[in-house]
């Protein structure tokens, strides 16, 4: 029998997100690291909560698969997904993304109808700001880069399993942000060297992350702007654009791919890692809804299909175009092409 239950799940979807965000804000999962459990009474004592909200939070987190209640007992402990990704200090800590969405995009999303009507971003004003990153509180910028690192580090792991970067010598991560992709890929491929290419105020963040990972001898940074620099850096046989092209419109992306083609040597490879729409542009939801988020956050961005990327690459002069698929927070696949 057809019921409105699927609609109810959509309507109440934000309940799940805000429950997760509240638990991350409280550092609940970090407090329960390494197998520790907590009861309602202990949660009340440690956080100064009344019994009703403490009980409700633990029950809600358990219902979402974030906590597990001990059989026959009163204690709750981290579920494997929380222990792996929501404990501060874990290699693939995802809390930065949770905090960024909670503090930066959640309230603007309440005005998504305005974005649909005006075709203008909601998290910044293009009439008064040069870009999404200008005139922004430094703490919010720090939160943004932590969110991008949280999303990228595991996505890079999945990409590294799906495509063999071991056939390459030098990787250029175009718009590489905090350096998550080079760090993870160079960990996996011991002979790979890499450069993070990004804006002058961004590359110090990448340099710090690289140094913390102990990889400064294999990963460098290059300050620049891939739209205005005379040419993109040379000397790399593989170029990566991870979660970059969904920020821009088609003409801008085509122009950038042409610049990539000029910068790569003959036989060089380009890798576009994104949440890809299917050719019919009917899903998957992760890619389609990221496109909606581009309405909130960018001037001309949207999510594109693998077919669109393949057409643009062919027009730019690339060949041997293929797609690899995987499951990760920041991408579900990558389009790979070789300079003819």
pLDDT at 134: 63
251-299: pLDDT as tens digits: 999 999 999 999 999 999 999 999 999 999 999 999 999 999 999 999 9
Catalytic residues: 246
- Domains annotated for the chain, with CATH where assigned, are 5-85 (1.10.10.10), 156-339 (3.40.50.150)
Q: Which band of pLDDT confidence, cut at 50, 70 and 90, is reported for residue 143?
A: confident
pLDDT at 138: 77
pLDDT at 309 over 70: yes
Q: Which band of pLDDT confidence, cut at 50, 70 and 90, is reported for residue 137?
A: confident
pLDDT at 133: 65
Mean pLDDT, residues 184-211 taken together = 96
pLDDT at 130: 77
Angle CA(318)–CA(324)–CA(329) in degrees, nearest 5?
115
Question: What percentage of residues in the chain have a pLDDT greater than 90?
Answer: 92
pLDDT at 135: 58
Inter-CA distances, 243 with 70, 151, 177, Å: 40, 10, 10
Neighbours of 74 (CB within 10 A): 13
pLDDT at 230 over 80: yes
SS3 220: strand
49-103: pLDDT as tens digits: 999 999 999 999 999 999 999 998 999 999 999 999 999 999 999 999 999 999 9
Inter-CA distances, 49 with 27, 46, 253, 307, Å: 14, 8, 50, 52
């Amino acid at each position: 029998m057809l019921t409105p239950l699927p609609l109810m799940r959509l309507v109440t979807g934000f309940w799940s997100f805000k429950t997760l965000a509240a638990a991350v804000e409280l550092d609940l999962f970090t407090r329960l690291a390494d197998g520790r459990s907590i009861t309602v009474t202990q949660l009340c004592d440690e956080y100064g909560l009344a019994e009703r909200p403490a009980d409700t939070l633990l029950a809600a987190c358990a219902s979402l698969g974030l906590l597990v209640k001990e059989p026959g007992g009163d204690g709750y402990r981290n579920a494997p997904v929380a222990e792996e990704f929501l404990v501060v200090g874990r290699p693939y800590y995802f809390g930065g993304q949770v905090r960024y969405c909670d503090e930066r995009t959640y309230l603007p999303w309440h005005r998504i109808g305005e974005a649909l009507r005006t075709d203008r971003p909601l998290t910044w004003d293009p009439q008064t700001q040069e870009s999404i990153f200008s005139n922004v509180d430094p703490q919010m910028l720090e939160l943004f880069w932590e969110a991008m690192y949280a999303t990228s580090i595991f996505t890079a792991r999945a990409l590294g399993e799906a495509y063999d970067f071991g056939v390459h010598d030098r990787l250029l991560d175009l718009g590489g942000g905090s350096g998550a992709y080079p760090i993870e890929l160079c960990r996996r491929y011991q002979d790979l060297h890499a450069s993070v290419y990004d804006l002058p105020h961004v590359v110090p963040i990448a340099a710090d992350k690289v140094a913390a990972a102990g990889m400064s001898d294999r990963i460098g940074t290059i300050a620049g702007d891939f739209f205005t620099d005379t040419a993109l850096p040379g000397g790399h046989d593989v170029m990566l654009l991870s979660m970059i092209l969904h920020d821009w419109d088609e003409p801008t992306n085509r122009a950038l791919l042409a610049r990539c083609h000029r910068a790569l040597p003959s036989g060089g490879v380009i890798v576009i890692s994104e949440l890809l729409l299917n050719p019919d542009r009917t899903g998957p939801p992760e890619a389609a809804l990221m496109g909606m988020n581009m309405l909130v956050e960018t001037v001309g961005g949207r999510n594109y299909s693998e077919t669109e990327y393949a057409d643009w690459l062919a027009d730019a002069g690339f060949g041997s175009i293929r797609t690899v698929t995987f499951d990760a927070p920041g991408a579900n696949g990558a389009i790979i092409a070789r300079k003819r």
